[in-house]
Structure 1
Amino acid sequence: MDLVHQYERAIDWIVSLCPQPDKFAHTYAGLTIWLIAAILMRRKLSSPWPVVVVAVAEAANEYMDRLAHGSWRWPDTIGDAIATLFWPLIIMMALRLRPALRG
């Protein structure tokens, strides 16, 4: 469990650098992971695969939270997932539905 607590401390430090509330940190993390995944995977931002990477990363993060807290905190977990996935999903769908946005 030491890894879990170290992870929680690192996340708390990252969240302390962001404006309130912590949902901003989830939004920033989701967008950052999405962009890095697209670059590393050499996929367009309209591809669903970078969003899948964000979803997996968010699921792992929430699982670490569950281990740290001893139980699921569903309202917080659902809010975190929405904050993390919202903009990557919206932008990906916009790029897929509106090819003119791709340039």
Structure 2
Amino acid sequence: MDIPGIYHSWIDWIGDGTGLPDSILHIHAGMAVLMLARLVTGRSLGTFIPFAFVVGAEFANELMDYLHYGWRAADTYADLANTFFWPFVISLGVRIRPLASQRARL
């Protein structure tokens, strides 16, 4: 059974169905995993626990890419950047926000 091939047929189906390029799909997937992990775990985005789910999901996706296509460095690095950027910025912002409000009270 070709699991990476089946996985990529689903990914192609999503891309074809939405008409969105791969880079935009990575941005949406990162945000969806972040929000879903936040809801399922009940942990704040500032704990970086939901972000860890994004990291795990993206590395699993890149492993499937590697098993199906082989090593493609430029594609992998672009996928990682697109998937991690906004979830990381949001998690960092939520983490820093309480510190900023504490300083304002002083």
Q: TM-score, structure 2 length as denominator?
A: 0.86
Matched AA of 2:97: R
- Residue of structure 1 in register with 2:33 after alignment: 33
- Residue of structure 1 in register with 2:66 after alignment: 66
Deviation at 1:3, TM superposition (A): 1.3
Alignment of 1:7-18 (within 5 A): 7-18=7-18
* 1:55 aligned counterpart, secondary structure: helix
Task: State how far apart, in whole Å, the 2-side matches of 1:19 and 1:45 are.
Answer: 30
- Residue of structure 2 in register with 1:78 after alignment: 77
Deviation at 1:97, TM superposition (A): 1.0
2:24 counterpart of 1:24? yes
Task: State how far apart, in whole Å, the 1-side matches of 2:19 and 2:44 are.
Answer: 30
Deviation at 1:4, TM superposition (A): 1.1
Deviation at 1:18, TM superposition (A): 3.6
Query: Which consecutive unaligned segments of at least 5 residues does structure 2 have?
Result: 102-106
Matched AA of 2:89: I
Query: Which consecutive unaligned segments of at least 5 residues does structure 1 have?
Result: none
- Structure 1 stretches of 4+ with a deviation exceeding 6 A read none
Task: State how far apart, in whole Å, the 1-side matches of 2:43 and 2:68 are.
Answer: 34
The size of the alignment, in residue pairs, is: 99
2:60 counterpart of 1:54? no
RMSD over aligned Cα atoms: 1.3
Q: TM-score, structure 1 length as denominator?
A: 0.89
Q: Which has the higher helix share?
A: 2
